[in-house]
Amino acid sequence: MDFAPFIHTELPGPLATKAIALDRRFTSPSYTRYIPLCVKSASMCTVEDLDGNRFLDFTAGIAVNNCGHCHPAIVEAVRDQAGKLLHMCGSDYYNQPQADLASRLCNLWPGPSPTRVFFTNSGAESIEGAFKLARYHTGRQRVIAFLGAFHGRTFGALSLTASRIMQRAHFAPLVPEVEHVPYGDVKYISEQLFKRTVPPDEVAAIFVEPLQGEGGYIIPPKQFLPNLRALCDEHGILLVADEVQSGFGRTGKMFCIEHYGVEPDILCLAKGIASGLPLGAMVAKESVMDWKEGAHGSTFGGNPVSCRAALASIDLIEREYMANARGVGDFMIARLNAMRAEFPEHIGEVRGMGLMIGMDIINDSTSMRPARVLRDKIVDDAYYHGLLLLGCGEATIRFCPPLCITQDEAARGIDLLADIIKSK
């Protein structure tokens, strides 16, 4: 695909305007399409709309297309598998790609324990599976999650989510006995929760994002995860790492939790697992995944086409893109920090690991108050200039481009962003 950005019509152009009108007439109003982008095709880090406008993609379809859009090796694996077997229900029968991927994921497990895999179709389903397994295995009912967390939208996952109020409003009652505590604060759990309201021996699991995603790309204190592990061990609680967004090389390691040397009991995966095809997985220590035949299942989970895409994607991530995420990630953080020095009145903190980077937009450098309206305006303007960005948290711009992004593409996007911020 040719050079991006390249904008040659009004945005949205005439074809996109028509398609968007059709979509809006017939789809759920709950979708949050802030930007009128209607994608026709995409390749690596470039996305083309129906009218032939090209955008540089710093979102990777929300941290999904880890190997870029339509990477030829993934497309080839999908084509090959699609001509052989599309579906046969992995819960009832066996298929080779599912078995291959299960064994591959168990080999990638961040720790010494033997593990097993339950396949799902999405992040929320991986979380649901972990929630059910935690109750099943421990015989306990309560769970703990963190303020700011996003774990998905189904009832169990939503009960753990504490990101934005609109995500929970009007859906009560949710799953009971879920406690939310401040992110990064183990002491609060041990010294407040466990002493005043929640008996620790009634807690089945603690769900944690090793790097909080939707909540604002927040990196916890270095000792947070090791201390959380120790607390779980002390009370027989399962530690569930939600790496739906941070997994598969995004932070420069296969899983973010590896930065902390902590082995979880359960790992929830989706998004980047198959670099664009729908798939998720819940991986658990073999000693934990002790539920009996029939206790849990899924019609589509472990779809052979998605599994082949995942195998091809993991190959690429291991071979080159994880290292690229580290290199280009460091480059982007340095460039964004330089931009911050230039515009201290608009840019607060820049933080990140690999290609999971957040930059806070603020009202002024004295109060450092989050500037949500300005953040939204910057993200919006970027689209009109051919750069796709996303917000997260209160007023953070997130950068989660495909892991194949080149330094040149990263620099091009950041230069464009600098021009936009300069104009504010």
Ligand X SMILES: Cc1ncc(COP(=O)(O)O)c(C=O)c1O
Of 79, 115, 33, 69, the closest CA to residue 409 belongs to: 69
Contact range with ligand X by CB under 6 A, out of 91-99, 146-154, 344-352, 367-375: 146-154
Candidate residues 124, 134, 240, 322; the one interacting with ligand X per rule CB under 6 A = 124
Locate tokens 């949500």: which residue?
A: 372
Candidate residues 150, 207, 248, 399; the one interacting with ligand X per rule CB under 6 A = 150
Q: Mapping DSSP to helix (H, G, I), strand (E, B) and coil, where does residue 311 land?
A: helix
State the minimum distance, in angstroms, from the CB of residue 327 to ligand X.
24
Candidate residues 5, 123, 184, 304; the one interacting with ligand X per rule CB under 6 A = 123
Closer residue to ligand X, CB minimum distance, 11 or 145? 145
| Cα-based angle 218, 221, 227 (whole degrees, multiple of 5) | 125
Cβ distance 203 to 144 under 8 Å? yes
State the minimum distance, in angstroms, from the CB of residue 137 to ligand X.
21
| 151 is a site residue for ligand X (CB under 6 A) | yes
Any idea what DSSP says for residue 221? P
Give the residue at shortest CB distance from ligand X.
123
| 245 is a site residue for ligand X (CB under 6 A) | yes
Candidate residues 244, 282, 353, 387; the one interacting with ligand X per rule CB under 6 A = 244
Candidate residues 66, 98, 122, 251; the one interacting with ligand X per rule CB under 6 A = 122
State the minimum distance, in angstroms, from the CB of residue 424 to ligand X.
28
| 307 is a site residue for ligand X (CB under 6 A) | no
Largest CA distance in the chain: 62
Q: What is the DSSP string of 54-99?
A: EEEESSHHHHT-TT-BT-HHHHHHHHHHHTT-S---TTTS--HHHH
Whether the upstream peptide bond of residue 12 has omega within 30° of 0, thus cis, is: yes
Cβ distance 263 to 269 under 8 Å? no
| 391 is a site residue for ligand X (CB under 6 A) | no
| 213 is a site residue for ligand X (CB under 6 A) | yes
| 375 vs 28: CA distance, rounded Å | 26
Backbone angles phi, psi at 238, to 5 degrees: -80, 140
Contact range with ligand X by CB under 6 A, out of 148-156, 225-233, 331-339, 346-354: 148-156
| 390 is a site residue for ligand X (CB under 6 A) | no
| 61 is a site residue for ligand X (CB under 6 A) | no
Q: Mapping DSSP to helix (H, G, I), strand (E, B) and coil, where does residue 245 land?
A: coil
Closer residue to ligand X, CB minimum distance, 244 or 284? 244
**Per-residue tokens: 422:** 């300069």
| 135 is a site residue for ligand X (CB under 6 A) | no
Closer residue to ligand X, CB minimum distance, 73 or 147? 147
Closer residue to ligand X, CB minimum distance, 181 or 339? 181
Closer residue to ligand X, CB minimum distance, 48 or 242? 242
SS3 content of the chain, % helix, strand, coil (to 5): 40, 20, 40
Candidate residues 49, 242, 265, 381; the one interacting with ligand X per rule CB under 6 A = 242
| 128 is a site residue for ligand X (CB under 6 A) | no
Closer residue to ligand X, CB minimum distance, 150 or 383? 150
Locate tokens 């779980």: which residue?
A: 232
Contact range with ligand X by CB under 6 A, out of 9-17, 21-29, 120-128, 393-401: 120-128
State the minimum distance, in angstroms, from the CB of residue 1 to ligand X.
26
Any idea what DSSP says for residue 370? B
Of 103, 95, 1, the closest CA to residue 303 belongs to: 95
State the minimum distance, in angstroms, from the CB of residue 6 to ligand X.
29
Measuring CA to CA, how many Å separate 98 from each of 65, 79, 210, 266, 331?
Answer: 20, 17, 27, 19, 37
Cβ distance 14 to 52 under 8 Å? no
Residues that bind ligand X (CB under 6 A): 122-124, 127, 150-152, 209, 213-214, 242, 244-245, 270
